[in-house]
Chains A and B, each alone.
Chain A
Amino acid sequence: MDLQVRKEQINDWYHAYSNDIYNYIHFLIGDHEQAKDILQDTFLRAYSHYDSFRGDNVKGWLFRIARNLTIDDIRKKKPISYFLDSIPILKSTELSPEKAAMLNESEQELYIALNKLKLAYRDVIVLRKIKEFSINETATILGWTENKVKVNLFRGMKALRKELEKGDFSHETV
C-alpha cells in the first residue's frame, strides 16, 4: 500500500480512537506522561505493522497493541510488581489533586477500588465495563478464551464490590 495512504489511515484512526486508547492505558498505569508515550508508540506500531492487520475490528486491534506495549512498559519498569501481578497505581488511598478534581466522590471511591485490584481483573473490567467491548472482542484483545474473560470478569467484579464495601466500612468506623 502507498505509504501516504497508510499515513492518512493512521491519522484517521488516531482521530477516531486516540482518546479511548489513552483512557484505557491511563487506567492500566495511572500516569499521564507514560500513557501519552505509549499512545504515540501504539500508532507508530500500527503504522509499521499495518500489513499484519487482518479483519475489520481496527479498534480492537489498536487496543491490543496498546495493551501489549503497556504490559511491556510495566515489565521493564516494574518487573517485580509485574511478576506478582500487582501493580498498584495508587500508593495510598489519596488521589492527586488533578484526578480528584475530575471525579466526583463516588467516582473517586470507584477509581481507588479499581486500582487496588490485580492487573488481570482491572484489565478485564476496564475493557468490558468501561470501554464496553463485547466478550468476544475483550477475549481477542487480551488473547484469552471467552470463558477466561467471563470468569475473570466475574471474580474481578466481586473483588471490586468487596473493595467498595471495605471503603464503606472504613467511613463508618472512622
Chain B
Amino acid sequence: MRQYDDVNQGLKSLNQKFRLPENEQREIIEDINRKMDLPMTTRNRVQWKYYAATAVVVLLLVIVALPLIFDNQSFVGESEQPQGSFERNPTPPVTDDTEEVEYTFLIENKLPFDIYSMELRVYQKGDLIASPTSMNADGSPIKQGDIIEFEFLEMDGLEAGSAVVELFVTLEKPSKGSEKQFSPGKNSIMLFEEYKDFTFWLIGESVDKFYLFDVSEADLEILNVEQIKEEDNEIAAMIQERFSLGLTKEEVRAIIEIKYASSLADGGEFWRYDFGENYASPLDDMAGIDTEGLKEGKVQAQLFIDWDDENKAKSYSVFYLNHSDGKVYDYRVFENGLEKHHAITE
C-alpha cells in the first residue's frame, strides 16, 4: 500500500514541474490575440507527408502479411483439435489479430499466496460457452498483484445478456493427472454491447475462504485504498495501521483505551467508539453516524466494529474528519478483507 501511495504522490508532484516560462507564456497570448484579430480563414492544405506515410505503412503491411497468409494455408488441418477432447469450444485459440476481441476479463490475484493456473468457465442460459485456462507461459507462479487476462473473440459465441462466470484455480503444477482445483463459486454478471471489459479481484485469506470480486462497475479509486496520512486524521491513520480482521476484544481494548458503546443488532454484537472530548452523540440510533458532529469537529472519528460468534472483529469502519480538505471520510474493511475508502460529504 505504501508503494502504491508513493507512486501516486510521485505523479502528483510531477504536476507543476514542466511550467511554461512567464515570458514565453506572454508571447503566446500576444500571438493568440494578434491572430484573433485577423479575419477567420480555413486552411485546407493537403497533408502529403501524412498520405505518403500511410501508403508506406500499407505497403509494409502487405509485404509482412502475404507470407503469413500463404504460410497458414499450407498448415490447414494440422491445427485441428483431436475429436472428442472437448464438447464445446472449451479453450479459445491463440488470439487471431485479425479478429476483434469481443470481451475482456481481467483477474488480479490479490490473494496472499501464489497461483499456478486459472480456468474461467463462462455460462449463458445454462450452457458452458467457454472455459479457457491461463497460466504464465514459463510456468512461473501467478503472484499477488499479477493480472491474468482472458480475451474472448466473436467466434467464442458470448452474447450480450446475463452470464455466469466460475473461476477455478490450481496452486501447483499438476502431476500425472492429479489436479486439485479450488473455486470461490459462481458470479452472475451482465454482458453489455457497450461495456466489454470486466475486472475482477481475487481476494481472501486462503483457498478455503476466497472470493472473486467484480470491480468492473465499482470505482477503482474507492477500492484502491491509499494510506491515510496522520496529518489528515491521526485516529483513522492509527486504525488503518493497527487494526485487522480477527482481532479479539482484548486486543482492541489494548489498542484503544477509551470507553465504547456496545449494542446487539441483527443477532450480532457491535461496538462504537467516539473519539472526541466531552462528546455525546445526539443520535438515538447506536449505529448512526454523526456526520454533522464530524464535520464541525465535535468528534474527530467514530469507529464501528462488528463481532463474530467467536468474539473476533468481523468487519470495521471508521468515519473521520479529514483535516486537510474538511470532508468526512469512510474507511472500512469488509468481512472478505476488501477495503474501501471515500469521502461521504462535500
Contacts and interface: CB of A to CB of B under 8 A. Distances in A.
Contact of A151 (B7, B40, B197): B197
A83 B57 contact: yes
A153 B10 CA distance: 16
B309 interface: no
Given A135-B221, A145-B195, A154-B199, A40 B18 contact: no
> Could you say which interface size class chain A belongs to?
35 or more
A26 B18 contact: yes
Contacts of B19: 19, 22-23
Contact of B20 (A10, A19, A110, A130): A19
A75 B54 CA distance: 10
B18 A102 contact: yes
Nearest to A158: B147
A48 B24 contact: no
B86 interface: no
A124 B284 CA distance: 46
B338 to A, nearest CB: 16
A54 B160 CA distance: 33
> Could you say which interface size class chain B belongs to?
35 or more
Interface string B188-225: 00000011010100000000000000001101110000
B85 interface: no
Contacts of A47: 32, 36
A132 interface: yes
A111 B14 contact: yes
Interface in B11-27: 11-20, 24-25
Contacts of A10: 32, 36
Nearest to A33: B24
Contacts of B104: 151
Instruction: State the main secondary structure of chain A at its contact with B.
Output: helix
Contact of B7 (A11, A147, A160): A160
A153 B222 CA distance: 13
B10 A39 contact: no
A166 interface: no
B135 to A, nearest CB: 18
A80 B53 contact: yes
B10 A107 contact: yes
Contacts of A22: 18-20
A158 B7 CA distance: 11
A132 B8 CA distance: 11
Contact of A76 (B14, B25, B47, B195): B47
Contact of B17 (A44, A80, A107): A107
Given A27-B14, A157-B7, 9 more contacts: A10-B36, A19-B25, A80-B56, A107-B17, A110-B14, A125-B11, A130-B11, A147-B217, A148-B197
Interface of B: 3, 7-8, 10-20, 24-25, 28-29, 31-33, 35-36, 40, 47, 49-50, 53-54, 56-57, 104, 106, 145, 147, 194-195, 197, 199, 216-217, 219-221
30 contacts: A7-B36, A10-B36, A11-B29, A14-B29, A15-B29, A18-B29, A19-B25, A23-B17, A36-B28, A40-B28, A40-B31, A47-B32, A76-B50, A79-B50, A79-B54, A80-B56, A80-B57, A83-B57, A107-B14, A110-B7, A129-B11, A130-B12, A147-B216, A150-B199, A150-B216, A150-B219, A151-B104, A154-B106, A155-B106, A155-B147
